[in-house]
Structure 1
Amino acid sequence: MYNLVYKSIANTLLLQAQIDEMLEHARVFNENNDITGCLLYHRGIFVQYLEGELEAVLALFERIKVDKRHSAVDLLSSSNIYTREFDTWSMAYLEGNIPNEAYEYIELMVNPVMEIPDMSVIPNPTSKRFWLAAKKLLH
């Protein structure tokens, strides 16, 4: 089992209908390829966690890198894992308008990565703690 985390910049601010359509396609593709994960979209920035078999995740990441809806695709981390974090979601999605302190925590962790790419903030989108916090928001 393998996971990777990347960030990218949306080429235009996306409407919710566009995100919904993108998620629908991603969920079908991921289900057919045994990939799970979570997508964050916040102020024009995507941060995504993908997990599955190495070859499937890397092949998907190659497709993601050439997708015209975003640019500056930056691999933040990748590693072998023993178990999935998002095993029940073909693609979980956290919206940027969740009005609570937990989402503010997620936002604070994402912002340094967007504004200061080399900043080492823990937890950050490359850490398991970050994605566990995201997972809690989904429940």
Structure 2
Amino acid sequence: MYNLVYRSTANTLSTKQVDDILNESRDFNKRHDITGCLVYHKGFFIQYLEGEAEIVLALFEKIRVDSRHYEVILLSKGNIYSREFDTWSMAYLSDDIPNEAFQYIKLMVSPESDIPEMSVIPNPTSKRFWLAAKNLLNKLEQKKLN
């Protein structure tokens, strides 16, 4: 099993275009046994992908050349023992559309003191994903306060 985290800057996208990306991702991921999470906020994407290495890396190459975004930066990649998102073909978090993954993701990006004791230590790639997601959500909170 393999995972990968990247961030990118979206070109100007409508809500429908973001929905299309999400639907395309879910369809592709179900067919190719890929799971993960996509965070979209104020024109930025952070995505965590997990599955067979060959498929995940091929998908990332396709993502890199997608014209709907630019500045695609690989944050982390590596082998893992088990999936973090085993029941989600693509969880999705947007500050505009909370969904079934919202509470879980909010917990994962909470300050460490707010997270209950966990018996599983996250792998380095998922730590990188959660840190990037936390930074993005913190920017959202700061903007709301100002």
When normalised by structure 2's length, the TM-score is 0.69
Q: RMSD in angstroms over aligned alpha carbons? A: 3.1
List gaps (5 residues or longer) in structure 1.
Answer: 109-124, 135-139
Which whole-Å deviations, capped at 9, do the CAs of 1:62-90 have from their partners, x for residues lacking one?
Answer: 00000000000000000100110111111
In structure 1, how many angstroms separate the alpha carbons of the residues matched to 2:95 and 2:110? Answer: 8
In structure 2, how many angstroms separate the alpha carbons of the residues matched to 1:79 and 1:54? Answer: 9
| Secondary structure of 1:127's aligned partner | helix
8 Å CA contact 1:10–1:46 kept in 2: the answer is: yes
1:50 alignment counterpart = 49
Q: Following TM superposition, by how much is the alpha carbon of 1:96 offset from its aligned partner in structure 2, in angstroms?
A: 1.8
Note closer, same or farther for the CA distance 1:63–1:107 as it changes in structure 2 (3 Å cut). Answer: farther
Mapped pair 1:60 → 2:46: no
2:2 alignment counterpart = 2
8 Å CA contact 1:9–1:73 kept in 2: the answer is: yes
In structure 2, how many angstroms separate the alpha carbons of the residues matched to 1:60 and 1:51? Answer: 11
Q: Which amino acid aligns with 2:130?
A: F
When normalised by structure 1's length, the TM-score is 0.72
Q: Which amino acid aligns with 1:40?
A: V
Which whole-Å deviations, capped at 9, do the CAs of 1:13-42 have from their partners, x for residues lacking one?
Answer: x22221111111111111111100000001
Residue identity over aligned pairs, in percent, reads: 56
Which whole-Å deviations, capped at 9, do the CAs of 1:79-137 have from their partners, x for residues lacking one?
Answer: 1001101111111100123599x75x8499xxxxxxxxxxxxxxxx8516828x98xxx
In structure 2, how many angstroms separate the alpha carbons of the residues matched to 1:107 and 1:70? Answer: 28
Note closer, same or farther for the CA distance 1:90–1:72 as it changes in structure 2 (3 Å cut). Answer: same
